[in-house]
Amino acid sequence: MLNRYFPEGLALLYALLFLALGWQVADRTVWYAEVTPLLATYALLLLTAKAFRFSNLSYLCFFVPLLWHAIGAHYTFSLVPLDWLTGPLGLDRNPYDRIGHFLVGLFAVPIVELLLRRRLCGPWLAALFAFFAISTVAALYEVIEWAYAALEGGDAGISFLGAQGDPWDAQKDMLADMLGAALTLLLYLASGTYRRSVP
């Protein structure tokens, strides 16, 4: 019973947390910009749920980065309270954004599952496609961040960009996305878990 309604439970939990995190946000302009892709992804999953139901693992791989991003949108990524981590590790910058980019790699699991269940290719080609898809979206997102920051300007633009003074922030973010995808794919394929989701 729990496994059967796991996606619905996650969807409800996410909706409740999203609403809670949308209350009294640090910067409403930044919040709108940050949650737009979250809402688009969430709506797409709801609209396509009957036509294509992912495995519970894939839905969990959607849930984790989407929730992480919603928390970042509430505070703005550079202001998420991580003093308990940055202090002891002696970090110069808040790592929340970089961790979030790494977690984007979890989206590789549903991409592989979709390709395999549609019988469009084998597991290794599906993994390569997933890796390059995430890398491409990561690069496009950095361009969108730059464009938004340039157009919006001011504190909102700086907060959305989240560079925290690092001129190589965009490149490091893309690398984090790619490393997250690579590690996720290696673990997913090596474990053989993908075989359970393919009829």
Please write the tens of the pLDDT for every residue from 95-144: 899 999 999 999 999 999 999 999 999 999 999 999 999 999 999 988 88
Residue 105 is assigned to a structural domain of this protein? yes
- Which ranges of the chain does DSSP label H, i.e. alpha helix? 6-21, 28-48, 56-75, 83-89, 96-103, 108-117, 123-152, 154-161, 169-191, 194-197
In which band, very low, low, confident or very high, does the pLDDT at 149 lie, cut at 50, 70 and 90? confident
pLDDT band at 155 (very low <50, low <70, confident <90, very high): low
Domain count, the chain: 1
The answer to whether residue 57 sits within a structural domain is yes
158 occurs within a structural domain: yes
Question: Which residues span the domain enclosing 172?
Answer: 6-197
Whether 138 is covered by a domain: the verdict is yes
Q: Report the percentage of the chain scoring pLDDT > 70.
A: 90
Among 67-76, 136-145, 160-169, 176-185, name the one with the lowest average pLDDT. Answer: 160-169
Is residue 169 in some structural domain?
A: yes
Is 65 within the bounds of a domain?
yes
Say if 1 falls within a structural domain.
no
Nearest-CA neighbor of 144 among 42, 65, 33, 40? 33
- pLDDT tens sequence across 51-85: 999 999 999 999 999 999 999 999 988 889 887 77
pLDDT of residue 77: 87
